[in-house]
Structure formats: structure tokens, C-alpha cells
Amino acid sequence: MKKIFSVLAVIALFGIVLAFDGPEAEAQKDWSTCMEKYDTKWGGQCEQYGQSEDKYTVFLRNTCDESVDVMVCMQQANLKWRCFNKSSLAPDGEMEAYACKSNKGKKLMWVRKAGDEATTFPTKEEVNELYKN
């Protein structure tokens, strides 16, 4: 009887430990799941080119209950990346990113908990070097 009680106690304790959502669990959270692409659009006004049918815009929304920092890069036809940063995007907050002359609508995105300076985003130069194609 003592063995059964001991085993049940260990199982219950293990379940409580797994259910605990402490700082370590938050640090390991995949913050990119917070960002939802809810729309896209081809064409529109671009300051560099005027009206452009090659402009590609992606519309994103924070679906999490916490604010996030976001970096989105859109690939242009010349294979260079145009990057946009949004700090402290609130829950249900929206942002857009675009390329005036897009390369098939390719995008890259990095997301972290708002203010998490320990998690760094790449620089625009690093993005262009690492993602040449």
C-alpha cells in the first residue's frame, strides 16, 4: 500500500511540475506563434516608384496576450531584403511590411517578448548576407 501511495504521489508531483509555467517556460516560448498573417496585397503606392503592381504587402497581427517585438523582412526583386521593426506590438496590434518591387512575396520574421534585449534580432546587413537567395 505504501508503494502505491508513493508512486501516486510521485506522479502527482511530476504533473504539478509539468503544469508550472514559470520563467523558464516563458523563455522557451516560441514567440513567432504570436504573429498571424491575416492578409496580403499586390499593388499600391510606393514612394520610390509611384504606383507599382509589383508592390507586395503583408499584414500581420499579434494574437498573443502579451506585447512582442517584431522584425519582418521582405525580399525585393534585386534579392535584397527590406526590413521593418515594431517594438512593443500590443495584443491584437497590427503591422504591415512591404517590398515595392517584390520577389514572389518572400518574407522573414523574428519575434521576441517585448523588451527582451537578451534575444537579439539580426541586422539588415546580416539578413542580406545570410539570406542571399
For residues 90 and 74, the answer to whether their CB atoms sit within 8 Å is no
* Phi–psi pair at 3, nearest 5 degrees: -65, -45
Amino acid at 29: K
Q: What is the pLDDT of residues 124-133, one digit of tens each?
A: 999 999 998 7
- Cβ-based burial of 2 (10 A; exposed 0-12, middle 13-18, buried ≥19): exposed
Domain coordinates in residue numbering, the chain = 30-130
pTM of the entire structure? 0.76
Highest-pLDDT range among 32-36, 105-109, 128-132: 32-36
Residue with cell 521582405: 74
